[in-house]
């Protein structure tokens, strides 16, 4: 199918994306992608810097006649979310992504596609490689580990680039320009357990919730999608009382920034209750299907005798703490914005629950465009799990990106979009986290916007890219680069006498202190 991709328009982006599909690039394991970008830069005779954390920054001179423009940064992240269907055999550290074209959409075969944000990386590379694209001085920043820790943005060294106008190529809705994003943090929980002998006269069953859409815990949190961890917990919590269920294992969800699509548990049921238990689980499936009849048509709950019958279960008190904690732990939208219509302000995601040796490891993530609200919902999650006698800790998190409606590059982008497509773009903030928040926090005054083609189902094997919107994305980006503001301020500063420079330097600390 790779040859089919090369026939798509615009050829430049799809050629670069096709190459990226063959490079393994899981978060925190981007070494092969870093090497790929280094070789790409050398092959195209492009100057670059490799930062200690793995970020790659390519510097590109202006095209003829565009030397008077401001330096523009094209920014994208090189890592991808690695999710696959249970029946798909795929090693994300070795195997290439297998693309599949279905009508106007590009999918992957049973895995995430990695258009988030491989399509952004491809777009930046295509700009560099295409001599027909008019642009001023460019700096292309490709960061590592955006998906699991924003490590690349956190460790980005401002000394390695000079631009103060940034185009983030990591958005997922063509026709929308983003000028702000939520901040976020994670709350990590450990529920300790001890093992006891498995009950006699009982049978171990495997209960599985599957077929859910999953999706991005920021973009998709308000779409009434089911969370597999929450559904499975509902089954187990009630069954503990009704059938004297005793739990051996619980495994649900995978990634901190994805809504859990699948979850499975192994639990013992007394032999004289097994038939009633099987009927109960199927009844719960009917309830779930009714509750999510529109948003989760593929929802499925299965119950079957476990292939391997364990000889131990977790102790009763630990089971009580785990199931009550999972049931009570908030998930979903907590508050909508009071100032932006239909905009999620605060949310939390019960992302995953994994059984480890001696404890269950539970990941949750909180997002909000208001810092105090972000901390409040994280505290709420901590309070729930404290009642369940669990160990709780919070990550440092990352800042939000405050909208700047007076942005110069936003004016350019809006005018370019209206001229090109004869309609108004939507200008809004996004509930998902973007690296712009960290970059803007690191470099005050950075003028930024974010945009991209239309992606759907990101962070899940349903991830897909709408092919026609990639052409629109490309044309829009090229128009912005062609019309980027002139670097008049920098020119006048360069002509200052040494005495004036000294005066300007003396004023700088005062401005910094004032901020």
Contact status, residue 305 vs residue 269, Cβ threshold 8 Å:
no
Alpha helices by DSSP H, listed for 44-113, are: none
Contact status, residue 480 vs residue 199, Cβ threshold 8 Å:
no
Q: Which of 51, 146, 147, 345 is catalytic?
A: 146
Can you tell me the distance from the alpha carbon of 464 to that of 161, in angstroms, rounded to the nearest whole number?
33
Alpha helices by DSSP H, listed for 313-451, are: 316-328, 371-387, 408-421, 435-442
The full length of the chain comes to: 515
Can you tell me the distance from the alpha carbon of 93 to that of 19, in angstroms, rounded to the nearest whole number?
16
Q: Which of 171, 60, 59, 181 is nearest to 477 (CA)?
A: 171
Contact status, residue 422 vs residue 472, Cβ threshold 8 Å:
no
Can you tell me the distance from the alpha carbon of 68 to that of 310, in angstroms, rounded to the nearest whole number?
71
256: CB partners within 8 A, 6+ apart: 148, 186, 217, 349, 351, 352, 363, 364, 365
Q: Which of 51, 79, 186, 435 is catalytic?
A: 79
Return the residue matching tokens 């919902």: 377
Torsion of CA 44, 60, 441, 36, to 10 degrees: 0
Can you tell me the distance from the alpha carbon of 108 to that of 384, in angstroms, rounded to the nearest whole number?
38
Can you tell me the distance from the alpha carbon of 13 to that of 207, in angstroms, rounded to the nearest whole number?
44
Got the DSSP string for 417-455?
A: HHHHHSSPPEEEEESS--HHHHHHHHSTT-EEEE----E
Can you tell me the distance from the alpha carbon of 292 to that of 226, in angstroms, rounded to the nearest whole number?
7
Contact status, residue 153 vs residue 146, Cβ threshold 8 Å:
yes
| Ramachandran bin of 441, using left for φ above 0, alpha for ψ from -120 to 50, beta for the remaining angles | alpha
Two tokens at 440?
């803007």
Two tokens at 60?
């590109």
Two tokens at 232?
């499975």
Can you tell me the distance from the alpha carbon of 220 to that of 243, in angstroms, rounded to the nearest whole number?
35
**Strand-pair category, 72-77 with 138-143:** parallel
User: At 335, which helix (H) or strand (E)?
Assistant: strand 332-336
Whether 389 sits among the annotated catalytic residues: the reply is no
Whether 146 sits among the annotated catalytic residues: the reply is yes
Residue 303: strand pairing partners: 207
The catalytic site residues sit at: 79, 146
């Amino acid at each position: 199918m790779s040859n089919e991709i090369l026939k798509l328009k615009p050829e430049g982006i799809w050629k670069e994306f096709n190459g990226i599909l063959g490079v393994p690039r899981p978060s925190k394991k981007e070494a092969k992608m870093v090497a790929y970008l280094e070789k790409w830069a050398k092959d195209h005779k492009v100057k670059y810097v490799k930062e200690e954390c793995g970020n790659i920054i390519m510097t590109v001179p202006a095209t003829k006649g565009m030397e008077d423009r401001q330096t523009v940064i094209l920014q994208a992240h090189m890592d991808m979310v690695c999710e696959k269907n249970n029946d798909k055999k795929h090693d994300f550290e070795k195997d290439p992504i297998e693309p599949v074209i279905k009508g106007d959409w590009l999918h992957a075969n049973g895995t995430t596609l990695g258009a988030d944000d491989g399509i952004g990386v491809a777009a930046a590379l295509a700009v560099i490689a295409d001599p027909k694209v008019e642009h001023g001085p460019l700096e292309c920043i490709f960061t590592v580990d955006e998906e699991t820790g924003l490590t690349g943005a956190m460790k980005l060294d401002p000394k390695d680039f000079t631009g103060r106008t940034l185009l983030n190529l990591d958005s997922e809705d063509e026709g929308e320009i983003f000028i702000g994003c939520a901040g976020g943090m994670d709350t990590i929980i450990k529920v300790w357990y001890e093992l006891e002998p498995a009950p006699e006269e009982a049978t171990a069953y495997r209960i599985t919730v599957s077929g859910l859409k999953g999706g991005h815990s920021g973009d998709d949190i308000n779409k009434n999608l089911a969370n597999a961890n929450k559904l499975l917990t509902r089954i187990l919590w009630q069954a503990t009382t009704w059938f004297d269920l005793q739990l051996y294992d619980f495994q649900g969800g995978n990634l901190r920034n994805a809504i859990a699509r699948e979850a499975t548990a192994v639990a013992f049921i007394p032999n004289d209750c097994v038939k009633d238990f099987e009927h109960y689980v199927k009844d719960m499936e009917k309830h779930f299907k009714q509750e999510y009849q529109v948003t989760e048509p593929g929802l499925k709950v299965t119950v079957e005798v476990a292939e391997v019958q364990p000889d131990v279960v977790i102790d009763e008190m630990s089971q009580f703490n785990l199931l009550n904690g999972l049931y009570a732990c908030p998930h979903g939208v907590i508050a909508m914005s009071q100032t932006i219509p239909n905009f999620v302000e605060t949310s939390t995601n019960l992302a995953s629950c994994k059984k480890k040796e001696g404890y269950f490891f539970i990941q949750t993530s909180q997002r909000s465009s208001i810092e105090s609200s972000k901390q409040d919902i994280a505290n709420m999650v901590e309070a729930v799990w404290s009642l369940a006698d669990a160990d709780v800790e919070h990550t440092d998190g990352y800042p939000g990106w405050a909208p700047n409606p007076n942005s110069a590059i936003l004016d350019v982008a809006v005018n370019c979009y209206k001229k090109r497509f004869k309609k108004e773009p939507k200008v809004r903030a996004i509930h998902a986290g973007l690296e712009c928040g960290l970059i803007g926090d690191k470099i005050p005054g950075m003028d930024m916007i974010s945009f991209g083609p239309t992606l759907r189902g990101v962070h899940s094997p349903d991830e897909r890219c709408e092919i026609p919107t990639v052409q629109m994305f490309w044309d829009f980006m090229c128009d912005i680069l062609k019309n980027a503001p002139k670097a008049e301020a920098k020119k006048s500063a360069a002509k200052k006498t040494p005495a004036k420079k000294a005066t300007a330097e003396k004023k700088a600390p005062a401005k910094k202190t004032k901020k």
